[in-house]
Amino acid sequence: MSFASRAFFIVSVMGMFFLPLDAMARPSKEEKAKRRAAFWGLFSDLYRASGCLGFSPVDYACANKALDDALKHSGVVDEAVGQSRPGFTQTISVTAGLVDAKDASKARQEIKSTLKELMKEFAEASAPVVQPTRDLGKKVYDQYCSSCHGDGRGHPGKLSSKLKSALPAFNRPDRIATQFPFGVFAVMIHGTDDGEMSSLLEVLTVDELWAVAFYISGMPYYEKSEFVDRSTSQKILKHSDTFALSALAMSTDDDLKNMLAGKSYDCGECITELSYLRSEWPWTGATGRLSSEAKAPRDSSEARALVILLVTIVTVSAGFIVVLKRSGRVEK
């Protein structure tokens, strides 16, 4: 190996030290599984806490329990995220303080912001690959969920009386405000920390889980959707990119109302529009991937690190070659 080649090799190795350590260290398979479990646990618990704070009257004890459960997972998630944002553990502590102060409104806003941050950080690999269908959602729900949740509209299931606490109907007005498919999906993936509900990930396929998540989110609107007129559906169809499946999966009803307002819809409570979006659109409209809504920061950080490494190698190597040429060690 020539002197110039050896110099280039040494510089290349030295360039590795310019690469951020967190980007260089790829987690093991076990570590990835641990992080995924922590993410779904954290998201599920915060989603449940938000629901408790949305009940009328507010169930502060339920919210505190869910936030305590969330703290069991936040440390692992903080480690995975690194220094890209303030720690989720810190955020949950702030939210718990708001709950202790009986400030449900601010606590819900804090949780909503945290849930969106979690989706932004981790949701890329969590897209429905197959278009959910209402028929599949109902079939799976009736088989695996109805024994505890009943019909989801207030009629109890055969095992309801054996549960520690009553399960609120999915079509309750005070539950609709915080309910959205990704949240339902997370709870089914993780289950609950008290053991009342086990994870369904080993029982159902991901496609079945998504079908149930969309089916549950549409429950408050199925009867109303029969009255959706053609003009309403045609207006919304013009904005298929805005209301793609990915957006519906990650949006609460309030989010959808804001999206409608952004398209100059003056629809008040927007019941007709929401009925169409929740009970018809996911089953007939264009699909979108969650990855188009949420980019994993690790991908971008690794890309930046690679660029830094290559630029460093090229720059330093060029400098070495210039020095070597001037010293006469290599031919000009």
Taking Cα atoms as reference points, which of 242, 246, 268, 244 lies closest to residue 257?
268
pLDDT of 290 reads: 46
Domain boundaries, the chain: 26-125
pLDDT of 295 reads: 42
Q: Where are the alpha helices (DSSP H) in the chain?
A: 3-15, 21-24, 29-54, 60-81, 88-100, 104-122, 134-144, 146-149, 173-176, 181-190, 206-218, 230-237, 245-250, 253-262, 271-279, 281-284, 297-327
Mean pLDDT over 97-122 rounds to: 93
Are 278 and 114 a contacting pair, CB within 8 Å? no
pLDDT of 60 reads: 97
User: Which range, 22-36, 132-146, 187-201, 255-269, has the best average confidence (pLDDT)?
Assistant: 132-146
Decide which of 192 and 82 is more confident.
Answer: 192
pLDDT at 153 over 80: yes
pLDDT of 298 reads: 42
Residue 202 CA to chain centroid, in angstroms? 20
CATH class of 26-125: mainly alpha
Mean pLDDT estimate for the chain: 81
Neighbour-count burial of 248, counting CB atoms closer than 10 A to its CB (0-12 exposed, 13-18 middle, 19+ buried): buried
Pick the range with the lowest mean pLDDT from 91-100, 184-193, 234-243: 234-243
pLDDT tens by residue, 160-177? 989 988 898 999 988 888
pLDDT of 288 reads: 47
pLDDT of 17 reads: 46
DSSP letter (8 states) at residue 2: -
pLDDT tens by residue, 299-321? 444 455 555 656 666 666 666 56
Crossing angle (nearest 10°) for helices 88-100 and 60-81? 170
Confidence of residue 39 (pLDDT cuts 50, 70, 90): very high
Find the Cα–Cα–Cα–Cα dihedral 42, 164, 197, 53, rounded to 10°.
-30
pLDDT of 318 reads: 62
Decide which of 83 and 81 is more confident.
Answer: 81
pLDDT at 292 over 80: no
* Three-state SS at 177: coil
Confidence of residue 23 (pLDDT cuts 50, 70, 90): very low
Decide which of 17 and 48 is more confident.
Answer: 48
As a whole number of angstroms, the distance between CA 121 and CA 29 comes to 19
